[in-house]
């Protein structure tokens, strides 16, 4: 109920002669003011009582103020009076006081007098429950804060403070940023955040939001986060950032007027260290909402029903803080045990928890944006992924070349370096498979090392740091591949990997090739320049990209100047290892191709065997025209080629290939 509805309710109860009302609030001043207006309106006298001031206005002789004295003096006032009693919770449990109140009841009703107990605690003694009503008073709503804001701004200009011109949207954001606070707290927060300012910036909202920290401080289920990073601190993830900016508009007053529905939230699934948590923090800052983390593991209680109760109370608290961003990190771990698509017993408590959370999420009418993050789909409750739960499911992949450049630039700048002073292009080109967190770590390690050695950081320090970092993607390749595959048709990509992006990427990569030292090298094609500088993986991709459709022996031949390409190893489909793709290659070349196919940089396509014949190449094995679903009893050769785009029909079957030892061809 909002303030107006509560006042209507109180008016009708006073007029109906309710003798005892217990009102719970921290906002004594605001409600005292509201009650004074209400009693004036219904033409009732208002008397207030505190332990220090006694009854005001007093009647008769002045005495020492005490709770007992209050109860003795009520009869001295004419019928119809309303008594606003503060600080009474300290005495209300005293049996003598309770007895006295019970004795007074019939007189109060007969004389249409109402005692209103106002305070942060509103415990009603059992003996009085039948004759009392307890009402929890709401915090100020948007309209209350709007008039409070107007008053605060007027006060500010009266005090001669600097002029601050605000657009409607800005004013709206300033009001929303303090929702959940009392009027007094809101005023204090505005005063602190706007003091001496002539225009708004992000810091104003961060200051305002931090005032809400205390609201969540009493709960061990919720954690309040400071918002230091903005959208500008996220390298890459352009599709996700663009989507977020559009969602932010949906909270504006204009969108409200036009009935645009409130966004519900997003689920970010992706590779570890690629910016999911960072996105949660930046989103909260973009929306100017506080970021509150809900720890699902902490919700779990041992007694039956305790977990759901914890969940309900945590969500109620979030609602009281709204608008807010509610962040649930690593939900696959938190909700571990919920029955997944794969079947299994499932944990009834967890299933109920997920169910009650999803119901809450679909019913919620307050501006609460939920961000759930996950590193794996295993144990992820399938019902969470169903369409309509979240506004969008995003897949956050390892950063591409452009993104790596951006991330390195951000972390260098953040620590006071000029990215132009380093060969960021070169570093980004070499760090395929590195996550944002690992790129950040390269910068930090290089800084520390340079400092330890007593010199200013140089590109060589970054390079050394890069060399000593083994990206997680090397050891987690299988997991990342599985995740990427799973997300392909189910999630939107956080990075718009359009043709334009890959073109830009390859152009930038070409720019990065400052390696040629002599005229001969300068005239080499881009792939050869890359190979020359030792970037064999990039060279291989570039070769396939320029040629469009490459046979394995052609590739081996082209790269043979830069690495050992022939040997006793071969390639076969993982799903069906008797499907041989090619043989007679070196282990290094096979591994490079496997890695690029697994990470979806390159794709296998079945091709016409005539092409191999024309190149005078073949394998002495029975010929296979296309990959089969059935396991082959014997090895067969599937003539195939490498391309940069997946095959329309056989992409899935040839998505994973493995290295094998088969002998020469
Ligand atoms: P985890 O699943 O392990 O929690 P995550 O995807 O949530 O990983 P973050 O915690 O956001 O990753 O990343 C860790 C740190 O790495 C960030 O605080 C940030 O400094 C850096 N980082 C990661 N991705 C990016 C990015 N895209 N742009 C800039 N910095 C990044």
Average pLDDT, integer, range 391-402: 90
In this prediction, residue 388 carries a pLDDT of 79
C-beta atoms surrounding 160 within 10 Å: 6
Query: Is 219's pLDDT higher than 80?
Result: no
Read out DSSP for 502-552? HHHHHHHHHHH-----SHHHHTS-HHHHHHHTT-HHHHHHHHHHHHSSEEH
User: What pLDDT, on the 0 to 100 scale, is given for residue 496?
Assistant: 75
Across the range 105-125, mean pLDDT stands at 91
Instruction: Tell which one of 239, 415, 436 to mutate to probe ligand 1, the residue whose CB is within 8 A of the most ligand atoms.
Output: 436
pLDDT (mean) for 627-641? 89
Of 273, 376, 445, the one to substitute when testing ligand 1's pocket (max ligand atoms within 8 A of C-beta) is: 273
**Contact in structure between 637 and 556 (CB atoms under 8 Å):** no
**What is the distance in A from the centroid of ligand 1 to the CA of 227?**
15
Q: What is the pLDDT of residues 457-481, one digit of tens each?
A: 999 999 999 888 878 877 777 778 7
CB of 529 shorter than 6 A to ligand 1: no
Mean pLDDT of the chain: 85
**Is the overall model pTM greater than 0.95, yes or no?**
no
For helices 401-414 and 499-512, give the axis angle rounded to 10 degrees: 60
Atom of ligand 1 nearest to the CA of 271: 6
**Is residue 277 within 6 Å of ligand 1 at its C-beta?**
yes
Give the closest residue (by CA) to ligand 1 atom 11: 275
Using a 6 Å cutoff on CB, does residue 442 contact ligand 1?
Answer: no
User: What pLDDT is attached to residue 439?
Assistant: 96
pLDDT score, position 177: 85
* Centre of ligand 1 from the C-alpha of residue 395, in Å: 14
Q: Which atom of ligand 1 is nearest to the CA of 237?
A: 27
| Candidate of 266, 424, 434, 437 to mutate for ligand 1, largest count of ligand atoms within 8 Å of Cβ | 437
Ranges for all domains in the chain classified under CATH 3.40.50.300? 3-136, 231-396
pLDDT for the residue 586: 93
Question: CB pairs under 8 A, 24+ apart, for 478-482?
Answer: 479/376, 480/271, 480/398, 480/599, 481/598, 481/599, 481/656
Which residue do the tokens 């940069």 mark? 644
* Structure confidence at residue 515 (pLDDT): 43
State residue 443's pLDDT score. Answer: 96
Q: Using a 6 Å cutoff on CB, does residue 580 contact ligand 1?
A: no
Domain 3-136: CATH class, spelled out: alpha beta
For 483-522, write each residue's pLDDT tens digit: 888 887 788 888 876 444 454 445 554 554 444 445 555 6
Q: CB of 533 closer than 6 A to ligand 1?
A: no
Tell whether the torsion through CA atoms of 273, 275, 280 and 284 is positive or negative. positive
| pLDDT value of position 197 | 84
Q: In this model, does residue 345 exceed pLDDT 90? A: no
CA of 283 to the centre of ligand 1 (A): 14
Does the structural domain 231-396 have CATH classification 3.30.565.10? no
Distance 440 CA to ligand 1 centre (A): 9
Rounded average pLDDT over 6-14: 93
In the chain, CATH 1.10.8.60 sits at 401-510
Q: What is the CATH number of domain 401-510?
A: 1.10.8.60
Predicted confidence (pLDDT) at residue 406 exceeds the cutoff of 60: yes
User: Could you give the count of Cα atoms lying within 13 Å of 567 in the half-sphere of its Cβ?
Assistant: 17
* Residue 346 binned pLDDT confidence (cut-offs 50, 70, 90): very low
CA dist 280 and 229 (Å) reads: 10
Using an 8 Å Cβ cutoff, are 28 and 118 in contact?
Answer: yes
């Amino acid at each position: 109920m909002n303030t107006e509805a509560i006042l209507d309710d109180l008016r009708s109860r006073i007029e109906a002669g309710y003798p005892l009302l217990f009102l719970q609030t921290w906002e004594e001043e605001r409600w005292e003011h509201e009650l004074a207006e209400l009693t004036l309106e219904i033409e009732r006298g208002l008397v207030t009582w505190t332990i220090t001031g006694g009854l005001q206005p007093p009647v008769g002789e002045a005495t020492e103020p005490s709770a007992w004295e209050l109860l003795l003096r009520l009869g001295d006032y004419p019928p119809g009076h309303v008594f606003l009693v503060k600080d009474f919770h300290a005495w209300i449990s005293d049996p003598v006081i309770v007895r006295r109140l019970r004795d007074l009841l019939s007189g109060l009703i007969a004389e249409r007098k109402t005692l209103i107990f106002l305070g942060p605690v509103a415990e009603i003694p059992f003996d009085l429950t039948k004759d009392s009503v307890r009402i929890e008073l709401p915090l100020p709503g948007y309209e209350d804060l709007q008039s409070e804001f107007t008053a605060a701004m007027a006060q500010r200009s009266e005090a001669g403070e600097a002029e601050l011109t605000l657009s409607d949207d800005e004013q709206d954001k300033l009001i929303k940023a303090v929702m959940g606070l009392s009027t007094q707290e809101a005023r204090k927060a505005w005063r602190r955040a706007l003091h001496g300012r002539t225009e708004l910036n992000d810091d104003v909202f961060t200051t305002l939001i931090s005032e809400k920290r205390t609201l969540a401080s009493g709960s061990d289920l919720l954690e309040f986060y400071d918002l230091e990073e903005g959208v500008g601190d996220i390298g890459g993830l352009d599709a996700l950032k663009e989507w977020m900016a559009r969602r932010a508009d949906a909270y504006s007053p204009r969108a409200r007027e036009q009935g645009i529905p409130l966004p519900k939230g997003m689920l970010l699934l992706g590779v570890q260290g690629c910016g999911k948590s960072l996105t949660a923090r930046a989103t909260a800052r973009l929306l100017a909402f506080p970021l509150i983390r809900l720890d699902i593991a902490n919700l779990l209680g041992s007694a039956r029903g305790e977990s759901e109760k914890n969940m309900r109370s945590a969500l109620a608290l979030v609602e009281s803080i709204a608008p807010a961003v509610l962040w649930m990190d690593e939900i696959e771990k938190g909700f571990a045990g919920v029955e997944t698509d794969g079947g299994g017993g499932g944990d009834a408590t967890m299933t109920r928890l997920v169910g009650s959370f999803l119901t809450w999420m679909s019913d919620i009418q307050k501006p609460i944006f939920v961000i759930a993050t996950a590193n794996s789909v295993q144990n992820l409750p399938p019902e969470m992924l169903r369409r309509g739960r979240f506004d969008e499911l995003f897949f956050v992949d390892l950063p591409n070349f452009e993104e790596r450049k951006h991330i390195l630039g951000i972390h260098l700048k953040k620590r006071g370096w000029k990215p132009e002073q380093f060969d960021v292009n070169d570093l980004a080109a070499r760090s395929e498979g590195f996550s944002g967190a690992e790129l950040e770590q390269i910068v930090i390690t290089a800084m520390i090392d340079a400092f330890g050695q007593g010199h200013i950081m140089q590109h060589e320090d970054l390079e050394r740091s890069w060399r000593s970092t083994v990206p997680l993607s090397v050891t987690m390749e299988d997991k990342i591949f599985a995740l990427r595959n799973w997300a392909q048709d189910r999630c939107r990509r956080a990075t718009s990997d359009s043709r334009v992006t890959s073109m830009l990427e390859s152009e930038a990569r070409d720019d990065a090739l400052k390696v040629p030292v002599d005229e001969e090298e300068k005239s080499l094609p881009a792939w050869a320049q890359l190979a020359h500088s030792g970037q064999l993986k990039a060279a291989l991709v570039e070769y396939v990209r320029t040629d469009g459709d490459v046979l394995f022996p052609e590739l081996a031949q082209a790269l043979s100047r830069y690495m050992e390409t022939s040997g006793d190893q071969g390639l076969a489909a993982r799903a069906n290892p008797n499907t041989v793709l090619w043989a007679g290659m070196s282990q290094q070349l096979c591994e490079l191709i496997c890695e690029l196919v697994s990470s979806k940089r390159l794709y296998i396509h079945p091709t016409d065997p005539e092409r191999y014949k024309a190149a005078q190449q073949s394998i002495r094995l029975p010929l296979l025209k296309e990959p089969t679903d059935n396991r082959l009893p014997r090895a067969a050769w599937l003539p195939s080629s490498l391309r940069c785009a997946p095959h329309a029909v056989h992409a899935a079957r040839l998505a994973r290939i493995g290295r094998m030892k088969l002998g020469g061809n």
